[in-house]
Structure 1
Amino acid sequence: MRPIQDYYPHLCNKQNIVITMHQKPDGDAMGSTLGLYHFLANLGHNVSVISPTNWAAFLDWMPGASAVLDYEKDKAAADKLIDNANTIFCLDFNVMYRTKNMEQPLMDATCTKILIDHHRQPQEEVFTYGISNIYKSSTCEMVYDFIIESGYASLLDRNIATCLYTGIMTDTGSFRFPSTTASVHLAVAHFKELGIDHTAIHENVFDSFLENRLKFLGNSLMNRMEVLYEYNTAIMVIPKSDLVKFNTKTGDTEGFVNYLLSIDGIRFAALVIDRTEERKWSFRSKGNFDVNNFARMHFSGGGHKNAAGGSTYDSLETTVQRFKEILPGYQNELSNL
């Protein structure tokens, strides 16, 4: 993988460009792809955005979201765009399998592939150019850097700024996580100068859920949470029956795992959800406990030091029991945080 700076001279050559992200995109994935989409369109490129799957409804308001293709719903159209692309930008994921059913078409594509991402251990060999920086707050911050450093700061506009602010806001936990550096605040100041309405963005993302989502959250906190104080750990186990009972939609569990870290003394939080095809884990931590390594070692996952995910095809009962059997091996590490 060559440095992304080597690609900058090619930005002035009009191309067919596809931008994609990880499955079930969050605010950073959608924000970074749409921010880059508007920027490249401003440069005169023919640009398309493809999501491997559907996404949470609370992201539908974002500028350009209506033009995003859902690969699972529009496979033929998406495959044609990939086949005709001169360049494919891969944002907010480090390995191709995180694009689910898009993995093989992306691997088969012979065009230029570019990585912009902040997760650990990227699959560098499949990308022509790229940048991977685990110290960046978000992929949105990295797209902002890409625009500035490539010499096109003048093309930044309110739509781009709105998209990029959304991802920075969500991936920094509304600017409270350690990844919120001075450079993050400088970017946000620039976005404000471009006219973003940060209040409206927060409301669109955090204040647009349905009543059943609050009931679902209340049930999860009351009946599905267990605190393991001897390990400074809390776990939330959500069975498929709850997803059906509360008529949940994509994005309804967003942020649930963070509630566990709000308990005094808890340094490791784990959420597992019984999806139809697999059990999905989300891990969060405070301090030096590395959930990226934990997820990679035990649950076929990964991510960041303090935020990671994983999955298993074991039953819900089996994977929860396995998690609890693993914890004693980390007792010293968790008690010394």
Structure 2
Amino acid sequence: MLPIEEFFPLLTTPRKIIITTHQKPDGDAMGSSLGLYHFLIQFSHTVTVISPTNWADFLEWMPGVNTVVDYEANKRRCHQLIEEADILFCLDFNVLHRTKNLEQPLTQAKCTKILIDHHQQPQEEAFNYGISNTGKSSTCEMVYDFIVASGHGDKINLDIATCLYTGVMTDTGSFRFPSTTASVHRMIAHLKDIGLQHTPIHDHIYDNFLENRLRFIGQALLHRMDVLYEYNTALMYIPKSDLVKFDIKTGDTEGLVNYLLTIKGMRLGAIVIDRDEERKWSFRSKGSFDVNTFARNHFEGGGHMNAAGGRSSDSLENTVKKFREIIKQYENQLQ
């Protein structure tokens, strides 16, 4: 994988470009994709954002989201777009399998592939150019850096600023996580100078849910949470019946794992949700406990040191039982 700076000279020649991200895109995935989209179209490129799956309703307000193509709902069209593409940007994922059913078409694509990502252990051999920086707060911050470093910072408009702010805000936990460096604040200051209005973005992301989600969270906190004080760990397990009962949609469980770390003394929060095809894990930690390694070693996952995900093909009951056994190995690290 060549340094992304070597791609800069190709920016100004109009091409057919695809931008894609991980399945069930969050604020950073959609924000970085649309931020890059609004940048590239200024060079007369033909640009299409393809999402591997659907996305949360709280992202529907974002500038340009109406142009995003859902792969699962438009496979034939997406296959044709990928086959005809000259350039493919892959944002906010480190390995191609995180695009779910889109993995094979992306692997087979003959076009130039570019990675911009901040997760650990990237699949470098799959890309022609790229940058992977785990020290960055978000892929949105990296897209901002990409635009500025390319010499075209003057093209950052309000649409780009809105999209990039969304991803930085969500991936830094509204600027409270350790990844919120001085460079993040300098970026936000620049976006504010352009005219960014940050309060409406916060309202769209965090204050835009239906009543049933709040009742679902109450059910989860009251009946689906165990606190393992001997391991400074809080565990939550959500059966499929709860998702059906409260009509939970994509994005409604976003951020639920963070509640677990609000309990005094907790160093690890883990939530597993019973999805149709698999059980999906989210892990969050405080301090030096590395959930990226934990997820990779035990639950076919990975991510960042203090935030990671995983999966299991076992039943919900068995995967929870497995977690309870595994966590005993980490008693000393979690003290």
TM-score by length of 1: 0.99
Does residue 24 of structure 2 align to residue 24 of structure 1?
A: yes
Separation in structure 1 between the aligned mates of residue 75 and residue 195 of structure 2, nearest angstrom: 37
1:24-80 deviations in whole A, cap 9, x for unaligned?
Answer: 000000000000000000121110000000000000000000100000001111111
Separation in structure 2 between the aligned mates of residue 288 and residue 20 of structure 1, nearest angstrom: 32
Does residue 325 of structure 2 align to residue 319 of structure 1?
A: no
Separation in structure 1 between the aligned mates of residue 218 and residue 197 of structure 2, nearest angstrom: 31
Separation in structure 2 between the aligned mates of residue 109 and residue 313 of structure 1, nearest angstrom: 29
Task: State the 1:12 CA deviation.
Answer: 1.1
Other structure's SS at 1:334 match: coil
Alignment check: 8 A CA contact 2:13 2:43 kept: no
Separation in structure 1 between the aligned mates of residue 284 and residue 127 of structure 2, nearest angstrom: 29
Q: Which residue of 1 aligns with 2:64?
A: 64
Task: State the 1:328 CA deviation.
Answer: 1.0
Other structure's SS at 2:11 match: helix
Gaps of at least 5 residues in structure 1 are none
Separation in structure 2 between the aligned mates of residue 53 and residue 182 of structure 1, nearest angstrom: 34
Does residue 103 of structure 2 align to residue 108 of structure 1?
A: no
Q: Which residue of 1 aligns with 2:168?
A: 168
Percent identical pairs in the alignment equals: 67
Partner AA of 2:119 in structure 1: H
Q: Which residue of 2 aligns with 1:275?
A: 275
TM-score by length of 2: 1.00
Q: Which residue of 1 aligns with 2:149?
A: 149
Gaps of at least 5 residues in structure 2 are none
Task: State the 1:195 CA deviation.
Answer: 1.1
Task: State the 1:194 CA deviation.
Answer: 1.2
Task: State the 1:185 CA deviation.
Answer: 0.3
Separation in structure 1 between the aligned mates of residue 277 and residue 292 of structure 2, nearest angstrom: 23
1:66-115 deviations in whole A, cap 9, x for unaligned?
Answer: 10000000111111110110000000000000001110000000110000
Size of the aligned set, in residue pairs, is: 335
- CA-based RMSD of the aligned residues comes to 0.4
Map of 1:1-337 to 2, 5 A cutoff? 1-335=1-335
Other structure's SS at 2:32 match: helix
Q: Which runs of 4+ in 1 moved over 6 A?
A: none
Separation in structure 2 between the aligned mates of residue 268 and residue 147 of structure 1, nearest angstrom: 36
Other structure's SS at 2:44 match: coil
Task: State the 1:197 CA deviation.
Answer: 1.1
Task: State the 1:196 CA deviation.
Answer: 1.3
Other structure's SS at 1:333 match: coil
Separation in structure 2 between the aligned mates of residue 93 and residue 168 of structure 1, nearest angstrom: 15
Separation in structure 2 between the aligned mates of residue 158 and residue 77 of structure 1, nearest angstrom: 30
